Amino acid sequence: MFEEPFRWMEAISTRHSYVREKLKKGQPVLGVPYNEGALLMGFAPQAGKVFEVYDRIAMGALGHPADVERLRMSLLDMAHLEGFNRSAQDVTIARLLQFGIAPALKQNFEEVMRAPYLAQLLLVEITPKNEALFYRLNYDGFWETFKKGCVIAGDPRAMASIEKEIDNTPFATYSLEEALDAACGLWARGLLAAAEEAASDNGEKKEDAPPALKEAFERWPLEAAVLCHKTERPSLYRPLTAGEIDALKNRVAGA
């Protein structure tokens, strides 16, 4: 296979199709700024959507839980090693991606005799200037940087729809409550827009209607956390409290 470029390219194409099909049902995870930092949120059919990575870094994920956990542990190990060898200020997502996890993912994906990672990551960082930066890391090692916010989703239609709305929403001016409400609204509208687009495509069967926001709260727990720069603690990461999530449910129920 390795002596025939066409067969290798065909194998890589097949791996792309395989991973995308496996991730297709993954529920979106959104990362957006707000006036005191950054918010990460997503509904979790199974636990493991939102994690802390380092003092100013958090991660959202979708995919196979085992692969997500392996990547999370790799990022944790790299971040703490970087912080020990250099300093906490030197631990940035750009360094972790460029010199660590992204090359490893690319090498893994291109070695066609190895199983690919079934995962997509959203990484969020608060810079020393208290600016929020967002990164999307794909299963093949490709990564992108965003300033206004970012989303990962198994359905590329939903991802494109939510991303467009994020770009047109002034999240950085919102309070945490406003950002939560807006992000949940984007989550629901993105899935609905994707379902409508799929139904309108020629030859594609109409899939089951996506869950409305109220239904999502009934079916799945919401995993959400913030990186808040208005704290005296070294770690800016804070999961949303049960009270904050209950208040969000009540607002959704009353909408």
Read off the CATH number of the domain in which 137 is found: 3.60.20.10
What pLDDT is recorded for position 113?
A: 86
Query: Per the structure, how many domains does the chain have?
Result: 1
What pLDDT is recorded for position 212?
A: 82
H or E segment at 20?
helix 5-23
User: pLDDT tens for residues 32-59?
Assistant: 999 999 999 999 887 789 999 999 999 9
DSSP, residue by residue, 48-116: -SEEEEETTEEEEEEE-HHHHHHHHHHHHHHHHHHHHHS-GGG--HHHHIIIIIHHHHHHHHH-TTSPP
Does residue 11 sit within a domain? no
- What does the alpha-carbon distance between residue 50 and residue 122 come to, in Å, rounded to a whole number? 9
Does residue 1 sit within a domain? no
Does residue 125 sit within a domain? yes
- What does the alpha-carbon distance between residue 165 and residue 190 come to, in Å, rounded to a whole number? 9
Q: Which portions of the chain are predicted below pLDDT 50? A: 1
- What does the alpha-carbon distance between residue 240 and residue 255 come to, in Å, rounded to a whole number? 21
Does residue 21 sit within a domain? no
- What does the alpha-carbon distance between residue 48 and residue 113 come to, in Å, rounded to a whole number? 28
Q: Residue 63's closest CA among 21, 98, 102?
A: 21
Domain that holds residue 85: 28-254
Does residue 15 sit within a domain? no
What pLDDT is recorded for position 86?
A: 87
What pLDDT is recorded for position 31?
A: 97
Does residue 224 sit within a domain? yes
Q: Residue 63's closest CA among 7, 138, 114?
A: 138
pTM greater than 0.85 (yes/no): yes
Does residue 163 sit within a domain? yes
Does residue 44 sit within a domain? yes
